[in-house]
Amino acid sequence: MGFPSLEELSGWIGLSDAEAVRALHARAYAEKTAVIGRRVSMRGLIEAGNVCAKDCRYCGIRASNRNLTRYQLTQEEIVASARFAAESGYGSVVIQSGEIESEAHTRFIEEVLRAIAPLKLGVTLSLGEQTEEVYRRWRDAGATRYLLRIETSNPALYAALHPAICSFDRRVECLRALRRCGYQVGTGVMAGLPGQTLEDLARDIAFFRDIDADMIGMGPYIPHPDTPLAAEASGWSAEAALRLGLNMIAATRLALRDVNIAAATALQALDPLGREKGLLAGANVVMPNVTDAKYRAQYKLYANKPCLDENAALCRGCLQRRIESIGETVLWGVPGDSAHFFARTRPGM
Ligand code: 5AD
Ligand code: FES
């Protein structure tokens, strides 16, 4: 099968009839099983800090939100979380935080990366827009993957969701810079944004192809009460956003085949079985939170964030049971690299 047309993609994404949705997800799951096997990779998610210089209109940790306590984990705390992830057999971690551009922050992350190197984990960073030089320094210090969601590939919608200082073009340029630095590059979008159309979502998948993404992280948009977007927007219902989020996973798996796709935690915020449904719609990565529970409530990007008071060890057993309950096997202790990355970087390709 060649790359589906935009009409085909938006047709899939917009399905709402229960039987048709089931058939779409089953096809995508069969594709995932054929390309990747009945295997799920784990990433321990470390929410390293909620200090953010940006003011995205949908995001709970935006700079103007005074309704939360800002925190930054110390190097020791991050290393402890990474060690916990390694001991839990997760094989890789994602270090995520609000967006900060400064030499002190760049150096702090370099030191963290060097400190966790002996753990031999796959390391993904999700630290927003930075200069190519910063991306290179973090790559040299041991990070191998980077997640930077484009949020929406529609420049007009992007402009409506972000303050004027944010540039869609710069974000795309950051994704290109990450490629040049040799990262496995992840991007993604939110589904069900106010004003977003099925065609926008279809074009998002074409964007993933054009940028040649190795990893995709997508989830439903969930209004956060302390944000301007929640106050003004009437858009898709929560039920529709959940359905769009799952259909996007399925359509992306069918279109892009060998990329890593995460079953985002935001799915679980809208449905207790959201992550399992994401896996059954074609996702192959789950990101259990390994941040010390005392900080988790301060890292709320959206409302109803799940697992706020779980201690991370309990989550491990719970997740393993959940994954095995749908007939999948957890890949313990391996970095879980993107098959697409190896296909595109193989000598002779
Ligand atoms: N609902 C869903 N996802 C959100 N994110 C930020 N705010 C929200 C929200 N209100 C997502 C963005 C960002 C990622 C870290 O979290 O896509 O890239
Ligand atoms: Fe959160 Fe288990 S994964 S409670």
So where are the chain's domains? 6-345
Contact by Cβ (8 Å): 93, 43: yes
Kindly indicate the confidence band of residue 349, based on its pLDDT and cuts at 50, 70 and 90.
very low
Average pLDDT over residues 39-59: 95
Q: What is the mean pLDDT of the chain?
A: 93
How many angstroms separate the alpha carbon of residue 340 from the centre of ligand 2?
29
- Closest approach atom of ligand 2 to CA 307: 1
pLDDT at 12 (0 to 100): 98
Q: Which atom of ligand 1 is nearest to the CA of 96?
A: 15
- At residue 339, does pLDDT exceed 50? yes
Would you state the pLDDT for residue 104? Answer: 98
286 Cβ inside 6 Å of ligand 2: no
Ligand nearest to the CA of 286: 2
- The average pLDDT across 269-288 equals 94
Helix extents (H) in the chain: 6-13, 18-36, 75-87, 103-116, 132-140, 155-161, 168-180, 198-211, 228-232, 238-256, 265-270, 274-280, 293-296, 312-325, 339-345
Residue 151 has what pLDDT? 98
- Find the ligand nearest to 128 CA: 1
Identify the pLDDT of residue 315.
72
pTM attached to this predicted model: 0.94
**pLDDT greater than 80 at residue 263:** yes
CA of 298 to the centre of ligand 1 (A): 14
The pLDDT of residue 337 is 84
Ligand at minimal distance from the CA of 289 is 2
The string of pLDDT tens digits covering residues 282-321 is 999 999 888 888 888 788 888 878 777 666 666 777 888 8
> Which tops the pLDDT comparison, 272 or 205?
205
Q: Dig out the tokens for 24 from the structure.
A: 């779409």
User: Structure tokens of 11?
Assistant: 């047709």
Residue with tokens 């109803």: 304
Decide: 290 in ligand 2 pocket, CB within 6 A: no
Between the CA of 276 and the centroid of ligand 2 the distance, in Å, is 12
| Mean pLDDT value across residues 176-190 | 98
Mean pLDDT of 318-342: 86
Q: Does ligand 2 lie within 6 Å of residue 310's CB atom?
A: yes
The predicted-structure confidence for 63-100, as pLDDT tens digits, reads as follows: 999 999 999 999 999 999 999 999 999 999 999 999 99
Which of 43-47, 245-249, 295-299, 311-315 is predicted with the least confidence, judged by mean pLDDT? 311-315
Q: What is the pLDDT of residues 141-168, one digit of tens each?
A: 999 999 999 999 999 999 999 999 999 9
What Å distances lie between residue 140 and 72, 114, 135, 312, CA to CA? 23, 10, 9, 30
CATH class, domain 6-345, is alpha beta
